[in-house]
Amino acid sequence: MISPAERARITFRMERWRSIFGGIIETAGNTFLLLIATRVFDLGPWAKALIAAGTSVGLLVSPLVVNTARGLGWEPSRAISTLLALGGLGCLTVTLLPHPIVYTAGCVFALLTSTCAIPLMTQIYHDNYPAEQRGRLYSSAFMARIASAMIFAWIGGQILDSTPMHSANPAASSGASMERWRWMTSIFAIAYLAAAAAVRRIPTRSLDAGSAIHPLQGLRFVREDPVFRNALMAWMLMGFANLAMLPIRVEYLGNPRHGLGLNAAQIAWLTLVIPNAARWIMSPVWGRLFDRMNFFRLRVTLNAGFAIGIATFFMSETPVGLVVGAIFYGISTAGGDVAWGLWVTKVAPPEHVTDYMAVHTFSTGIRGVLAPLCAFQAVQSLAPATMGWIAAAMIVAACGLLIPEIRAADARR
């Protein structure tokens, strides 16, 4: 029998290793797979929107994953490890079969495997980390992910910058070009497999097979718990705005139609390196605030930062404005990482943490699939600056939904 302290120590050590490889995977979904889709495969807006929504598709199917793992009586670590290994196979398939349709499908599949088991990871955090240290331990491990993403963003930008792009037919590209982008997808495959090996070593208890329910039955908590319901509504508004503008950052910076046409290294700096530097610095601060601060007050503060970052980034065409917007985005994302991954532990009964998180990830998946599809269609007719203002207004509205919860918490105190 492993003691609680030893369980927390092993979990933290393995989670740091998983986070290192997770940072590399994160750059794939946020920037590099979209860059390859645009400049190597010349994919259209629908295909790019599908890739941008890949991680959200994983969130959408997360209740099914939780229900399946519970029905099989699997340990969360086993289920997560299996899914990450499948993601690695998806990246290998993309590498070996360079066809636009295979690339689109393979990217979506790989990205969804990285997120569909998030509720199971939340259960691990709940079971293995002490409640009073959960935010600090989570953010400390997450710093490894941020540092890894930041470092690999620079490396990946250099790799793709040396790649001759703008080829509608990858088979007709030069051998050097094919080799370069294949290096990237091969690295992503290795990262998936290494992350799978790390998480498999985390000690976890098997989920109760006897409590298996219909995948969407957890939605009953939305009806029964008004605090949970109100928080989900606020997340929906804020998350839709943020997820819509996330892939548009790459489109705005890289597509000459919008007047910037930056190269891969410059895009990597503005969408990955600079935001992740701010994120890395602020992550431990937000982790400690999560442990000590009222969650809804914390969420409103983060929302304000996202609104400022989006408005600044898309209203500016100067390097200074783009950098300031990227910094605000990184600072807010640092807090969002902790809040998004752990907030249900603040409101859910201990026996229903996985179910609450599955509902949360499911709703995130809905907006995550719809937001890029809407955004890539909207950017065909609307200026990115206009879209930025619309997104900022949605985030402000989300803050308004949380004000009553802050007042209620203050009254209870």
Instruction: Name the 3-class secondary structure at 162.
Output: coil
User: What's the mean pLDDT in 269-277?
Assistant: 86
User: What's the mean pLDDT in 147-163?
Assistant: 80
Residues 6+ apart with CB under 8 A from 61: 112, 116, 365
User: Is there a domain that residue 165 lies in?
Assistant: yes
pLDDT higher than threshold 60 for residue 168 = no
User: Is there a domain that residue 50 lies in?
Assistant: yes
Tokens 């930056």 -> residue: 262
pLDDT band at 179 (very low <50, low <70, confident <90, very high): low
pLDDT higher than threshold 80 for residue 177 = no
pLDDT higher than threshold 60 for residue 211 = no
- Count how many domains the chain has: 1
Q: Are 339 and 295 in contact (CB under 8 A)?
A: yes
Q: Are 271 and 251 in contact (CB under 8 A)?
A: no
User: Is there a domain that residue 210 lies in?
Assistant: no
CA distance 261 to 257: 8
Residue 244: which of 367, 105, 89, 332 has the closest Cα?
367
Domain assignment of residue 21, given as a range: 4-205+217-412
User: Is there a domain that residue 43 lies in?
Assistant: yes
The CATH number given to whatever domain includes residue 356 is 1.20.1250.20
Report percent pLDDT > 70 for the chain.
91
User: Is there a domain that residue 39 lies in?
Assistant: yes
Tokens 């599908």 -> residue: 50
- pLDDT tens-digit map of 101-148: 999 999 999 999 998 888 888 889 888 988 888 888 888 888 898 889
User: Is there a domain that residue 94 lies in?
Assistant: yes
pLDDT higher than threshold 70 for residue 163 = no
CA distance 182 to 95: 5
User: Is there a domain that residue 211 lies in?
Assistant: no
Q: What is the mean pLDDT of the chain?
A: 84
Residues 6+ apart with CB under 8 A from 23: 144, 145, 146, 147, 148, 149, 150, 151, 152
pLDDT higher than threshold 70 for residue 352 = yes
User: Is there a domain that residue 212 lies in?
Assistant: no
pLDDT band at 15 (very low <50, low <70, confident <90, very high): very high
Token readout for 268 is 């990597």
